[in-house]
Amino acid sequence: MNKFDLVIENTAERDIYIIADYIAKDNKKAALKLVKEFYKSFEMFCLQPNAGFVRKDFTYRNVRFYVVKRKYLIIYTIIDSSIHILRVLSTYQDICSAI
């Protein structure tokens, strides 16, 4: 089985920072745990790139979605042999306008 390379785009890094910062105001351990969960998902995509699902009703772009903790959505795409993490959003955000 080939392992895909991982690329985390700047927008996704910024998303993670914003989410973690918001949660850390109340619970630093929970924020750290969630960030670890995001990165665990990213590594899983490198082994199982089609783990996420396609939502043509959200976007025409060739992206996949993956839900973490029922409140967060990782948006990624596969380019050649790389997984590109595009966004990490809260489900409370306007997902369609963010992608």
Q: pLDDT at residue 99 above 70?
A: no
DSSP class of 53: B
Q: Confidence band (pLDDT; 50, 70, 90) for 78?
A: very high
What is the reported pLDDT for 96? 58
pTM of the model: 0.89
Instruction: Tell me the pLDDT tens digit for each residue of 30-49.
Output: 999 999 999 999 999 999 99
What are the distances in angstroms from CA 5 to CA 12, 24, 28, 31, 95? Answer: 16, 30, 30, 26, 25
Structural domains of the chain ordered from first start: 5-89 (3.30.2310.20)
Of all residues in the chain, the percent with pLDDT exceeding 70 is 90
What pLDDT is recorded for position 56?
Answer: 83
- Going along 1-99, which residue ranges are E strands? 5-8, 64-68, 72-79, 82-90
pLDDT for the residue numbered 13: 98
